Structure 1
Amino acid sequence: MVTVSPPKSEASPSWAYVLQLPHDRCAPRIARVTLRAVLAGHGLTGLTDTAELVTSELVTNAYRHTTGPATLRLRALAGARLRVSVWDANPHIPPPFDKRPGPPHPVHPVHAEADGGRGLFLVCHYADA
């Protein structure tokens, strides 16, 4: 595991953590545990539920739809906000994130009986951008 945390400045909460995740079914759980520890360590536990949901969905998609490793990046933003980024080796950007400009909005509802397909809709709903 690689982590990076630059020195804190008094003006803004400047830190970032990067976690390299192998293509392993345990990756979403490891990402959630890491996220909870980082947020607790920085006094941002109020963000935990939403950030954990978004992180879990993105890392799960990286595991399910690629064959290689993934990278989780957590970065502090001004105003007690958090940026969660997940990178994987698949060059295809899934809808609705493949549309520009503006924030993604789910366009296709998922049938109630479907076994999957709700993850990115949850990300769109719970993430600010």
Structure 2
Amino acid sequence: MNGLALYQRPAEPASWRIALPHTAAAVPVARALVRTALAEVEHAADPDTAELLTAELVANAVEHTDGRGPIELVVELLPSGCQVEVHDPDPAPPGHLTRPVIEEPDPWQEGGRGLLLIRALSSSCGHRPTPSGKAVWFRLPAIPGQRRPA
């Protein structure tokens, strides 16, 4: 075939699962895994947004949960988009992810915007209990006709 090729969605879902250390070193590893997974199957979800939101989820898990065990990153690539989950040992729901924001964050505060960013840039997000704590997740849609760089 000559000319531009349009993205063809994978017929079967692809998924990756990895245990990460409960340290800041987990963030760049998670970013790289998401970007590589999207590129490997030439998926049409936006890799920059996926990488950014994954970094926010992992950083929140590292910063706001007890560091007794590893956290787990799960990446699922579906024909309709991608879903990223971060599992951690803390059963408490993350603040500001699914409940309404009552007040805007202080513009001089360095933190406190990660979950707001996830809400704003993902097509959906949430959390659910797991046997060992909770999973926090977001979804991004596939962008039809978008070509992935080789």
With normalisation by structure 1, the TM-score equals 0.79
Identity rate of aligned residues, in percent? Answer: 32
Greater relative contact order, per chain length (Cα 8 Å cut-off, separation 6+) = 2
Q: Judge conservation of contact 1:96–1:107 (CA < 8 Å) in 2.
A: no
| CA deviation after TM superposition for structure 1 residue 12, in Å | 3.0
Shift in alpha-carbon separation, 1:46–1:91, aligned structure 2, 3 A: closer
Which residue of 123, 131, 142 maps to 1:128?
123
In the alignment, what sits opposite 1:119?
Answer: 114
The 3 A distance-change label for structure 1 pair 11 and 40 is closer
Runs in 1 of length 4+ with deviation above 6 angstroms?
A: none
SS at match of 2:42: coil
Structure 1, gaps ≥5 residues long = 1-9, 100-104
Q: How far does residue 55 in structure 1 lie from its aligned partner after superposition?
A: 0.2
- Larger gyration radius, structure 1 or structure 2: 2
Count the aligned residue pairs: 114
SS at match of 1:74: strand
Instruction: Kindly indicate which of the two structures has a greater share of residues assigned to helix.
Output: 1
Report whether the alignment pairs 1:71 with 2:72. Answer: yes
Counterpart CA distance in 1 for 2:42 and 2:76 is 14
SS of alignment partner, residue 46 of structure 2: helix
| Unaligned runs of at least 5 residues, structure 2 | 1-8, 125-150
Instruction: Give the alignment of 1:27-106 within 5 angstroms.
Output: 27-44=26-43, 46-66=45-65, 67=67, 68-79=69-80, 81-97=81-97, 99=99, 105-106=100-101
Shift of 1:91: 1.0
User: Which has a greater percent of strand?
Assistant: 2
Equivalent in the alignment of 2:136: none
Per-residue Cα deviation, 1:47-79 (whole angstroms, up to 9, x for no partner): 201101110000000111121311111002223
